[in-house]
Structure 1
């Protein structure tokens, strides 16, 4: 399978038969979405700790 986590066997087959160009387009869009979200979150302080800081009690 090209990608994991499809909601159905039909969806998995669609991805499996897509071409490399389309896979590059999907990956580029995902990358752009993540980069945009990371840029928006950069510099923002959280009101409450999370992740490792929360586990450490910081």
Structure 2
């Protein structure tokens, strides 16, 4: 049982590391998008009362 669990974990680890390695070599973006557009009143900004809070998502 213990040996089988170890093999499952190693297979999963190889799959995760392999997918991230493939994505980095091919230039595939896994999280987020490449659009760096400024939206003054878009979904990334909030206003409550007189204080405005802007959230910037940096790469």
The normalised TM-score by structure 1 is: 0.46
The structure that is helix-richer by fraction is 1
The structure that is strand-richer by fraction is 2
Q: Which has the higher contact order (CA 8 A, sep 6+)?
A: 1
